Amino acid sequence: MSTATLAQALNTALGDALREDPDVHILGEDVGTLGGVFRITDGLAAEFGPQRCLDTPLAEAGILGTAVGMAMYGLRPVVEMQFDAFAYPAFEQLVSHVAKMRNRTAGKLPLPITIRIPYGGGIGGVEHHSDSSEAYYAHTPGLHVVTPATVADGYGLLRAAIASDDPVVFLEPKRLYWSKDEFAPAPVEPIGRAVVRRQGTSATLLTYGPSLPVCLEAAEAAKAEGWDLSVVDLRSLTPFDDETVCAAVRATGRAVVVHEASGFGGVGAEIAARVMERCFHHLAAPVLRVTGFDIPFPPPMLERHHLPGVDRILDAVARLQWEQ
């Protein structure tokens, strides 16, 4: 089996989707000739032409509004928002039209749009280039929100998103674009399912996207303290896989939610609430969170303090009331 980076897996997924379905079109800033700032669409305009892989003006609301019209006329557009915070000008289109069109038309007009958004920190970017904006989208009914953390999921989840008849916000962890693993294009667990990446018996780390490798590293380091940690990759924030998450938490009786986004009002708060409601009698300690701080994203030389790391995760595990 050959190896590939997450970026290469995403590029392969887009190429295969364009090849197999003439209704699939890609549009966004610099996705054509340049191949995207992260080269995720590299070579696609040359192979499929500028009508299938289209450069747009720097106008995110216009890009997504155009995609809405394309989807209403039967196409299957894939939009690239160049950076996480660049997507905010398109938020009105996303919330008012993309998310609501199926319900507004009594199911007669679904919008099969995939909105790809590079997100998260860890690359030395500044504000507008390092946001973790998943809570805005996960809080909006009518959207699916997914984020791959592995090379295999980069391909499989993106193919599933493009094939979906409902709009999918596809959040790509920028710092994992160059992560590498064995790769063979193949289906993966569907949207709406979490995956247990590491089995353990002491406590369960619940995480997604850029924080998955950090949690796996923390789980290895925890062995020195005598802790055997499970790690659950959520993959899909909406729909949310309560079944897998609750089974993993009930098996250990302790849980920590880890994500880069700010803690207040974040996805981790919703996850902690759901676990507490469904697993209360199985818990030996309150569910804890390790998140980014409640501040605007810091400058590059300080982001290592802001992003959850191994030490902060192990500190949270240590606070899970181990005394009997």
Residues annotated as catalytic are 129
Exposure string over 200-214, b if 16+ CB within 10 A, otherwise e:
bebbbbbbbbbbbbb
Calpha distance 314→81 (Å, rounded) = 35
Omega before 173 within 30 of 0, i.e. cis: no
Strand order of the β-sheet with 144-146 is 53-55, 24-28, 76-80, 114-119, 168-173, 144-146, 236-238
